[in-house]
C-alpha cells in the first residue's frame, strides 16, 4: 500500500513537531505561509488526499482528473480559490464542491464536461462568486445539463460566469434565471446565431455582457428586446459576421440609440456583402440601404416578369403557327378525311333515323 509511508510521516510529524509540521501530499507543493497548494502537471488521476487544512488557494491543474465525485474536497473549509483547469474532467457529480464552504472562485476551464449533475455546483455556504467554464464543455449539447445545474445549484451569489470558447450554438431559455447577482457574463468565441426570448431573463444586475466572436449576422427585434432587458450592462459585440442588408436596419438604429453602453461601437463593421465590408455599422443606419423602397421595387420586378412572360408566350405562339404552316398539306388532307368520315356517319344516322321513324310514328298514333 502506497499511502503507508505518508501516514507514517504524518504520525512522525505529529509526534515530533505538533500541528506546525509541514505535511504535503506527494506530487504537490505546499506553502503554509501563502496558504497555497499546487499540484501542477503531475499526471494525477484523482484529487490527492491529505491536503492541509490551512489551504486557501488550491491548484490541481494540467493533470488527468476525469471525474469529480461527491464531496471530493471534504474538510477543506478554508479553500477560497480552487483551480482544476486543463484536466480531462468529463463528469461532475452531485455536490462535488459542497464541502468547500468558503469557496469563492472555481476555475474549471479547459476540461471536457459532458455530464453535469443538477446540483454539481452547490456550495454549502452559497459563497461562490466566480465560475470559470471557459473551453470547459465537451460539446455544445452539454449546455442542457449546464442550464439545469445553473438553476438547481443555488448560485444566487455568483458575480462572474465565463462561458467563452465553448462552441455554444444556442442558450436554453432562462438558463441564467437563478443567477440574480450576476454582474459579468462572458460568452465570447461561441457560435451563437441569435438571442431569443428570455435568454437573459433574470439578469437584473448584469454590468457586462461579452458577445464578441460569435455568429451573429444581425440581431433581430427579439434579440434587441433581450438586450434592452439588461439596460445596465455594457456590451461587447465586435467580430461578429454582420450582414449589412435590409435586415440589419433595426440593429443599426438600435446601435445609434444605445451607443453609450456599447463599448466597442466604433469597431463594429459589416462582414458582407463584399461592397459593404469594413463599413462601420454606425454609418449603415445613416446610409440608404434602399429597404423602404422595397414595395415599389417589388412592383417593378413583378411588372418586368409579366412583360417577359408575354414575350415568351408570343414566341411560342409564332412557332406553333409556323409549324402549322409547314404542315399545311398534311393538315388539309386530314381535314378532308375528317369531313368525309363525318359525312358517312351523318348519312348512316340519317338512314337509320328514317328507317326507325315509321314504327315510332305508328306508336304515337296508338296513344
Ligand atoms: C482554517 O483556518 C482557520 C484560521 O486560519 C484555522 O483556525 C482552522 O483550523 C483552519 N481549518 C482547518 C480545517 O485547518
Ligand atoms: C482568488 O479568486 C479571486 C476572485 O474571486 C481573485 O481575485 C484572486 O486573485 C484569486 N487568488 C488567487 C491566488 O488566485
Ligand atoms: C460563510 O461564508 C462567510 C463569508 O462569505 C464566512 O464569514 C462564514 O464563516 C461562512 N460560514 C461557514 C459556516 O463557513
Ligand atoms: C477563465 O480561464 C481562462 C483560461 O484558463 C482565462 O484565460 C480566463 O481569463 C478566465 N476567465 C476569467 C473571468 O478569469
Ligand atoms: C455531444 O457528446 C455526446 C456524448 O457525450 C453525444 O451523445 C452527443 O451526440 C454530442 N452532441 C453533438 C452535437 O455532437
Ligand atoms: C475559440 O474557441 C476555440 C475552442 O472552442 C479555440 O480553439 C479557439 O482558439 C478560440 N479562438 C479564439 C480567438 O480565442
Ligand atoms: C417573444 O416575446 C414576444 C413578446 O414579448 C412575443 O410576441 C413573441 O411571440 C415571442 N417570440 C417567441 C419566439 O416566443
Ligand atoms: C478594415 O479597416 C481597417 C481600418 O479601419 C483596416 O486596418 C483593415 O485592413 C480593413 N480590412 C479590410 C478587409 O479591408
Ligand atoms: C444617430 O441618429 C441621429 C438622429 O437620432 C442622427 O442625427 C445621427 O446622424 C445618427 N448617427 C449615426 C452615426 O448614424
Q: Whose CA is nearest to atom 9 of ligand 5?
A: 141
Question: Residue 316: is its pLDDT beyond 90?
Answer: no
- Asked whether the beta carbons of 3 and 30 are under 8 A apart, the reply is no
Name which residue leads in pLDDT, 44 or 297. Answer: 44
Q: Whose CA is nearest to atom 6 of ligand 5?
A: 141
Structural domain that includes position 119: 24-158
Write down the pLDDT at residue 326.
Answer: 76
Atom of ligand 1 nearest to the CA of 76: 13
Residue 99 lies in a domain: yes
Residue 225 lies in a domain: no
Overall domain count for the chain:
1
**What CATH number is given to the structural domain containing 83?**
3.80.10.10
- Assign 74 to helix, strand or coil: coil
C-alpha cell at 197: 426570448
- Residues 128, 134, 136, 142, CA torsion sign: positive
Q: What is the pLDDT averaged over residues 85-112?
A: 95
Angle 237-262-267 from CA coordinates, rounded to 5°: 60
Residue 355 lies in a domain: no
Residue 113 lies in a domain: yes
Residue 117 lies in a domain: yes
Alpha-carbon distance of 82 to 61, in angstroms, equals 10
Ligand 7 site-directed mutation target among 171, 195, 196, 197, most atoms within 8 Å of CB: 197
Alpha-carbon distance of 167 to 113, in angstroms, equals 13
Q: What is the pLDDT averaged over residues 326-349?
A: 73
Ligand 7 centroid to residue 197 C-alpha, Å? 6
CB 101 less than 6 A from any atom of ligand 3: yes
Alpha-carbon distance of 250 to 254, in angstroms, equals 6
The pTM of the full predicted model, rounded to 2 decimals, is 0.79
Angle 145-179-89 from CA coordinates, rounded to 5°: 35
Q: What is the pLDDT averaged over residues 245-266?
A: 91
Ligand 1 centroid to residue 126 C-alpha, Å? 19
| Least confident piece of the model among 55-64, 247-256, 299-308 | 299-308
User: 8, exposed or middle or buried, with CB in 10 Å at 0-12, 13-18, 19+?
Assistant: exposed
Atom of ligand 9 nearest to the CA of 286: 14
Write down the pLDDT at residue 303.
Answer: 62
Angle 162-248-216 from CA coordinates, rounded to 5°: 25
Question: Residue 156: is its pLDDT beyond 60?
Answer: yes
Residue 207 lies in a domain: no
Residue 1 lies in a domain: no
Ligand 7 centroid to residue 221 C-alpha, Å? 10
* Nearest listed ligand to the Cα of residue 143: 5
Q: What is the pLDDT averaged over residues 75-87?
A: 96
Residue 277 lies in a domain: no
Alpha-carbon distance of 359 to 140, in angstroms, equals 94
Amino acid at each position: 500500500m502506497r499511502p503507508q509511508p505518508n501516514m507514517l510521516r504524518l504520525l512522525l510529524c505529529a509526534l515530533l513537531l505538533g500541528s506546525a509540521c509541514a505535511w504535503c501530499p506527494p506530487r504537490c507543493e505546499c506553502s503554509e505561509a501563502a496558504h497555497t497548494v499546487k499540484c501542477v502537471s503531475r499526471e494525477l488521476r484523482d484529487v490527492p488526499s491529505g491536503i492541509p487544512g490551512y489551504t486557501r488557494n488550491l491548484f490541481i491543474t494540467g493533470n488527468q482528473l476525469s471525474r469529480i465525485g461527491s464531496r471530493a474536497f471534504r474538510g477543506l473549509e478554508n479553500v477560497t480559490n480552487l483551480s482544476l483547469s486543463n484536466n480531462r474532467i468529463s463528469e461532475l457529480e452531485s455536490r462535488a464542491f459542497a464541502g468547500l464552504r468558503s469557496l469563492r472562485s472555481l476555475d474549471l476551464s479547459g476540461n471536457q464536461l459532458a455530464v453535469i449533475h443538477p446540483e454539481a455546483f452547490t456550495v454549502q455556504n452559497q459563497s461562490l462568486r466566480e465560475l470559470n467554464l471557459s473551453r470547459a464543455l465537451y460539446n455544445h449539447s452539454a449546455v442542457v445539463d449546464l442550464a439545469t445545474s445553473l438553476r438547481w445549484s443555488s448560485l444566487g451569489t455568483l458575480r462572474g460566469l465565463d462561458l467563452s470558447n465553448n462552441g455554444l450554438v444556442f442558450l436554453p431559455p432562462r438558463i441564467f434565471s437563478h443567477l440574480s447577482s450576476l454582474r459579468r457574463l462572458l460568452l465570447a468565441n461561441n457560435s451563437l446565431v441569435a438571442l431569443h426570448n428570455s435568454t437573459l431573463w433574470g439578469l437584473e444586475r448584469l454590468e457586462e455582457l461579452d458577445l464578441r466572436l460569435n455568429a451573429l449576422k444581425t440581431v433581430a427585434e427579439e434579440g434587441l428586446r433581450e438586450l434592452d432587458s439588461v439596460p445596465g450592462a455594457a456590451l461587447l459585440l465586435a467580430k461578429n459576421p454582420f450582414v449589412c442588408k435590409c435586415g440589419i436596419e433595426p440593429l443599426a438604429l438600435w446601435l445609434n440609440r444605445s451607443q453609450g453602453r456599447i463599448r466597442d461601437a466604433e469597431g463594429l463593421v459589416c462582414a458582407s456583402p463584399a461592397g459593404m465590408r469594413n463599413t462601420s455599422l454606425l454609418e449603415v443606419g445613416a446610409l440608404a440601404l434602399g429597404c423602404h423602397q422595397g414595395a415599389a421595387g417589388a412592383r417593378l420586378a413583378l411588372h418586368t416578369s409579366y412583360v417577359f412572360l408575354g414575350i415568351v408566350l408570343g414566341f411560342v405562339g409564332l412557332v406553333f403557327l409556323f409549324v402549322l404552316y409547314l404542315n399545311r398539306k398534311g393538315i388539309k388532307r386530314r381535314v378532308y378525311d375528317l369531313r368525309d368520315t363525318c359525312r358517312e356517319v351523318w348519312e348512316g344516322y340519317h338512314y337509320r333515323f328514317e328507317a326507325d321513324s315509321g314504327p315510332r310514328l305508328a306508336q304515337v298514333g296508338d296513344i
